[in-house]
Amino acid sequence: MNELYPWQKDDWTRLQSLRSRASQGLLFQGQKGIGKLELAINYARALLCEHPLDDGFACGKCAACHWFEQGSHPDFRFLQPESETEESDAGKKPSRQISVDQIRGLADFMGMTAHQGGRRVVIIHPAEAMNANAANALLKNLEEPPAGLLFILVTHKHQALLPTLLSRCLAFGLAAPDAATATRWLAAQGIKNPADALAVSGFSPLQALQSANGSDAREKLLCAVRQPQTLDVFGLAEALQKTEQVQVVQWLQQWCHDLISQKLAGRLRYHPDSEAAIRELVAPLDPLNLARLQSVLQTAKTESQHTLNPKLFLESLLFTYCQLTKPCHL
Ligand SMILES: [Zn+2]
């Protein structure tokens, strides 16, 4: 991969000078949505690579690089809130925090020696998601760190971290791009009004890209669901598979809410601009089917946090939608 955002070249060069330092905690701090995590991952991969290139990047060819790509490098751990992993048990409310158990779960990892005899890396993202217990547990690890183990804490809210934790880490500030650089980059990603998109996002280029892609996806979805009889399920699922699944289900829930609301009360909440289309669509529909659709979407919302195959998940959901929005006289 080895791809940096254009505004990260200096950061990368500065990082190379830290390679040989024995520092056990690095704090990547900087504005939201500028690629801090991506830089941390690139750095971790480069530290673990057996034959790093002259510019410090991982070679992409050695066994370590291969393991890293597969997500199975034995000397690497990535901690994030459970809500962002797919392993939390169904039914259990996913947590937005990084728990003390997750930090304690590193104990075995910390007790081992590095498989490659060199570095081991733990990335914690976002670091401010650690609750007080987790932060204290981490602090102990930072006080007596095993040799060669590097913690990279990634945050855009370093003021929310324990001062004791901050004092144990070497702060590494990441540069935000200037508006011109960010605008050029957004334009190169195919964003239509890059300067506006950047301003609306609070000058966070990655967020600007995400919301521009998101509104594109929402438009596609809403355009398609108006005409269930001609909806191209496979094509739409393909187009939406990279959008966050929870988000897609939520858009469908809002749409379904308005179908029901129009049918029963003649009112709309989320799509006031589509009144004529919705009125026409719901006229021949069985209200019971709409209630079924609502319940299917409710279940899908939970499932969407664990789905491993977004395309298949969406196909099944869209087929159900088409099924339940067939005029009842057919
Ligand atoms: Zn390599």
C-alpha of residue 118 to centroid of ligand 1, in Å: 13
C-alpha of residue 114 to centroid of ligand 1, in Å: 16
User: Is-contact 90 307, C-beta < 8 A?
Assistant: no
C-alpha of residue 112 to centroid of ligand 1, in Å: 22
The per-residue pLDDT for 88 is 41
C-alpha of residue 27 to centroid of ligand 1, in Å: 24
Lookup result for tokens 């590193």: 106
CATH topology for 6-176 is Rossmann fold (3.40.50)
Mean pLDDT, range 194-220, rounded to an integer: 88
The per-residue pLDDT for 214 is 83
Written in H, E and C, the secondary structure of 54-95 is CCCCCCCCCHHHHHHHHCCCCCEEEECCHHHCCCCCCCCCCC
C-alpha of residue 55 to centroid of ligand 1, in Å: 13
C-alpha of residue 56 to centroid of ligand 1, in Å: 11
Q: What is the CA radius of gyration of the chain?
A: 24
- Residues 6+ positions from 3 with CB-CB distance below 8 Å: 42
User: Is-contact 120 150, C-beta < 8 A?
Assistant: yes
Residues of the chain with CATH 3.40.50.300: 6-176
Which CATH architecture group holds 226-324? Up-down Bundle (1.20)
Lookup result for tokens 């980059």: 185
C-alpha of residue 66 to centroid of ligand 1, in Å: 7
Secondary structure letter of residue 274 according to DSSP = G
C-alpha of residue 196 to centroid of ligand 1, in Å: 40
C-alpha of residue 238 to centroid of ligand 1, in Å: 33
C-alpha of residue 48 to centroid of ligand 1, in Å: 7
Any bridge partners for residue 149, and if so which? 120
C-alpha of residue 13 to centroid of ligand 1, in Å: 18
C-alpha of residue 131 to centroid of ligand 1, in Å: 35
pLDDT confidence bin for 21, thresholds 50/70/90: confident
C-alpha of residue 316 to centroid of ligand 1, in Å: 40
| Angstrom distance (rounded) from CA 27 to CA 30 | 10
Chain CA centroid to CA 123, Å: 15
User: Is-contact 59 53, C-beta < 8 A?
Assistant: yes
Q: Which of the residue ranges 60-74, 83-97, 250-264, 296-310 has the most confident prediction, judged by mean pLDDT?
A: 250-264
- Residues 6+ positions from 284 with CB-CB distance below 8 Å: 327, 328, 329
The phi-psi region of residue 323 (left if phi > 0; otherwise alpha if psi is between -120 and 50; otherwise beta) is: alpha
pTM greater than 0.75 = no
Residue 79 has pLDDT above 70, yes or no: yes
C-alpha of residue 150 to centroid of ligand 1, in Å: 18
C-alpha of residue 43 to centroid of ligand 1, in Å: 12
C-alpha of residue 60 to centroid of ligand 1, in Å: 5
C-alpha of residue 125 to centroid of ligand 1, in Å: 24
CA geometry: angle 246, 298, 102, nearest 5 deg:
50
Residues of the chain with CATH 1.20.272: 226-324
C-alpha of residue 4 to centroid of ligand 1, in Å: 17
pLDDT confidence bin for 175, thresholds 50/70/90: confident
Secondary structure letter of residue 113 according to DSSP = P
Tens of pLDDT, residues 137-152: 999 888 887 888 899 9
- What angle in degrees, to the nearest 10, is found between the helix axes of 205-225 and 179-188? 40
The per-residue pLDDT for 283 is 94
- What angle in degrees, to the nearest 10, is found between the helix axes of 245-265 and 310-324? 10
Pairing mode, strands 25-29 and 170-173: parallel
CB atoms within 10 A of CB 171: 13
Tens of pLDDT, residues 278-328: 999 999 999 999 999 999 999 999 888 777 788 999 999 999 999 999 987
C-alpha of residue 226 to centroid of ligand 1, in Å: 50
C-alpha of residue 61 to centroid of ligand 1, in Å: 5
C-alpha of residue 157 to centroid of ligand 1, in Å: 32
Tens of pLDDT, residues 23-62: 689 999 999 999 999 999 999 999 999 999 999 999 999 9
- Residues 6+ positions from 36 with CB-CB distance below 8 Å: 28, 29, 30, 154, 155, 156, 174
C-alpha of residue 174 to centroid of ligand 1, in Å: 25
